[in-house]
Structure 1
Amino acid sequence: MVAYNFKSYFAPQIEDGSKAHTIRSNRRRHAHPREPVQLFTGLRTRHARRIISDPICTAVLPIVIMSSDLLDCGIAYIEINGIPLHRDEIEPFAVSDGFSPDRLRGLAPAKLIGSTARETMGRFWRESHPGSRFEGVIIRWRPAEPRS
């Protein structure tokens, strides 16, 4: 089982199911489809908290994200599993990744909040990932079936 850590301001969206994926750098081992994943805030600290019961990984797909300081929106390009998102799909994707300004206001640092989810994602991305090109994976999950 693989554990993933999240900023605390993403926890409410994971809890209500509106955020059901995460984007991560390539590493030796990621979750595999049909495998449970553990989702935490404060991992490896005394404040560690499991966000929800272990959901089940449904997909692990390659993702490319290109950001630019020259664009107000910050995110120039996203490609998932070799398929580029149309420019009109980037905003809904940024919302699904937890970057809706309305959902983050009051929880995330004010400097992170932009006027759109795409801009907010761009600010987060430039702060968290140096360079303009990111290659990694998107890990998607669904809630675990309740045990009977």
Structure 2
Amino acid sequence: MVAYSFKTFFGPQIEDGSKTHTIRGHRRRHAHVGEPVQLFTGMRTRHCRKIIPDPVCIAVLPILMMSSDLIEPGLAYIEIDGRPLNRDEIEAFAVSDGFAPERLRGIAPAKMIGATARETMGRFWAAENPGTSFQGVIIKWEACGS
């Protein structure tokens, strides 16, 4: 079983089932399809909390993200499992990844919140991941109550 830690502000979206995936860099081992995953906030701290009972991993797909400070949203390109997302799909993906500005106001750092989910995601990734290109995986789990 693999455990993943999340920023506290993603907890409510994982609990209500609107966030059912995470993007992670390559590491020695990620969850496998059919395997339960553990989802926490504050892992390795005294504030550690399991967000929901262990859902089952339903997909692990390669993801490529590229950013640019030449465009306002910052997030220039996303490709999942070899398929590039168009502008509307990037916005929808950013919402599904937990970056809808209206869901984060008051619980996430104000400087992170942009006008759109894509811009908010771009700001988060710029702060958390150095460089303009990110390659990793998207790990999806079953929605609550599935």
Query: For this structure pair, what is the TM-score category when the shorter chain's length is used for normalisation?
Result: over 0.9
> Deviation of residue 143 (structure 1)?
4.2
Alignment root-mean-square deviation, CA? 1.2
Q: Is the 8 A contact 1:54 1:143 kept in 2?
A: no
What TM-score do you get using the length of structure 2 for normalisation? Answer: 0.97
Task: Tell me the SS of whatever aligns to 1:72.
Answer: coil
What TM-score do you get using the length of structure 1 for normalisation? Answer: 0.96
Runs of 4+ in structure 1 off by over 4 angstroms are: 143-146
Gaps of 5+ in 1: none
Q: Partner of 1:17 in structure 2? A: 17
> Deviation of residue 145 (structure 1)?
6.7
CA distance in 2, matches of 1:144, 1:94: 20
Q: Partner of 1:2 in structure 2? A: 2
Task: Tell me the SS of whatever aligns to 1:35.
Answer: coil
Alignment of 1:121 onto 2:144: no
**For residues 16-74 of structure 1, what are the alpha-carbon distances to aligned partners after superposition, in whole Å with 9 as ceiling and x for unaligned?**
00000000000000000000000000001111000000000000000000011111111
Task: Tell me the SS of whatever aligns to 2:118.
Answer: helix
Identity %: 71
CA distance in 1, matches of 2:91, 2:24: 19
Q: Is the 8 A contact 1:54 1:144 kept in 2?
A: no
Gaps of 5+ in 2: none
Q: Partner of 2:28 in structure 1? A: 28
Aligned residue identity for 2:59? A
Q: Partner of 2:41 in structure 1? A: 41
Q: Is the 8 A contact 1:67 1:74 kept in 2?
A: yes
CA distance in 2, matches of 1:88, 1:113: 19
Matched residues, number: 146
Aligned residue identity for 1:122? G
Aligned residue identity for 1:88? D
